[in-house]
Amino acid sequence: MNFSASNDYCGDGRFVQHSVIMQHIDKLELRPGDTVLDVGCGTGEETKSMAGKVKSVTGIDASEEMVTVAVKTNSAPNVAYSQWDARAVGDNPDWRERFDKAVCFFVLHWIPEETQALRSISACLKPGGQALIIISFGNHDDSFFLPRATSFLKSHEKWGAFVQDYKSSLHLWDLSVQETQKVFKACGWAEAKCEIRRHELVLSEIQLKLFLKTCLGEIPLIPAEDYLQDLWQWALDRYGDKSQPGHVLITFEVMVVHAWK
């Protein structure tokens, strides 16, 4: 991911992710005695939120900048942050079979070696431990917002030349429920309950721009403020929410996995 600043990933920049997480977090049944690993914790909003319900939370992220912001803005007595790659977290001898629960929210779609990360997360859980994993889902269906936004840029008379060869490092999960269950079992998980969930969210201008900046931030040579303004106007014209002027209604899907070691 290529953020101009980690602050893009706080507040309004986390609105989409946070809204989805809050709809699914109770599947994990956090308990007061739990030790929890937050893989890809970002700036720590959910990390700190979980800390109020459990014994302790360890948040890890590959980005030094993210971890620095998390320490400054979302610390708590029972929260620890560390810079670590999701694919290698299981290599830390101090963390192997240490945690009761693990979460990994909107992270695996940034990692090409997602099976390596799944094995690594499993290695950190105690026998019988649980994980809740949410991954952006896409089966190349252009009825959803993000593929259409990318298509708009590629056909744009001004921006098209910049993005014709653009390939995002965002790898939408496109396996079926049954295929996803097989992947988890192959990575050492005893059981995985999987579901594809469709979400609709109403976003303000700043919320949509920050969401798009997160997903499309690697586009080269274009000042983000310029192409994001054109994307916003396109989205407002096409997806404007009539009940809330100045807002858009977007549709997307996620794969939600509740897994046991």
Element (H, E) at 116: helix 114-124
Residue 178 — φ and ψ, nearest 5°?
-65, -40
**DSSP code per residue over 74-106:** S--TTEEEEE--TTTGGG-TTTTT-EEEEEEES
Structure-model confidence comparison of residues 153 and 133, the more confident one: 133
170 three-class SS: coil
Lowest mean pLDDT among 10-14, 48-52, 78-82, 89-93: 10-14
Long-range contacts of 141-149 (CB under 8 A, 24+ apart): 143/251, 144/251, 144/252, 144/253, 145/235, 145/239, 145/250, 145/251, 145/252, 146/215, 146/252, 148/238, 149/212, 149/216, 149/231, 149/234, 149/235
The Cβ of residue 97 has, within 10 Å, a number of other Cβ atoms equal to: 13
Element (H, E) at 126: strand 125-137
| Residue 17, in any domain of the structure | yes
Residues above pLDDT 70, as percent of the chain: 90
Check: CB of residue 131 under 8 Å from CB of residue 103.
Answer: yes
Band (2; pLDDT cuts 50, 70, 90):
very low
108 CB burial (10 A radius; 0-12, 13-18, 19+): buried
| Residue 23, in any domain of the structure | yes
pLDDT above 70 (res 42):
yes
Residues above pLDDT 90, as percent of the chain: 72
| Residue 238, in any domain of the structure | no
Domain, as residue range, for 68: 6-140+168-201+252-260
pLDDT above 70 (res 12):
no
Q: How far is CA 215 from CA 38, 149, 151, 247, 260, in A?
A: 21, 10, 14, 19, 30
| Residue 47, in any domain of the structure | yes
CATH number where 113 lies: 3.40.50.150
Q: Report pLDDT for 131.
A: 99
pLDDT tens-digit readout, 187-211:
999 999 999 999 999 999 999 998 8
pLDDT tens-digit readout, 168-189:
778 889 999 999 999 999 999 9
| Residue 49, in any domain of the structure | yes
Average the pLDDT over 212-225 and give the result. 71
pLDDT above 70 (res 108):
yes
- Tell me the whole-structure pTM to 2 decimals: 0.90
Q: Report pLDDT for 218.
A: 64
Please, what is the end-to-end C-alpha distance for the chain in angstroms?
Answer: 29
The chain-wide mean pLDDT, for the chain, equals 90
| Residue 81, in any domain of the structure | yes
For the chain, how many structural domains are there in total? 1
Residues in the chain: 261
Across the beta sheet with 125-137, the strand order is 79-83, 56-61, 35-39, 99-105, 125-137, 248-260, 191-203
| Residue 218, in any domain of the structure | no
Check: CB of residue 254 under 8 Å from CB of residue 136.
Answer: yes
The CA-based dihedral angle spanning residues 160, 165, 171, 176, taken in that order and rounded to the nearest 10 degrees:
90
pLDDT above 50 (res 90):
yes
| Residue 30, in any domain of the structure | yes
Band (214; pLDDT cuts 50, 70, 90):
confident
Q: Report pLDDT for 6.
A: 47
The Cβ of residue 11 has, within 10 Å, a number of other Cβ atoms equal to: 14
Q: Report pLDDT for 160.
A: 87
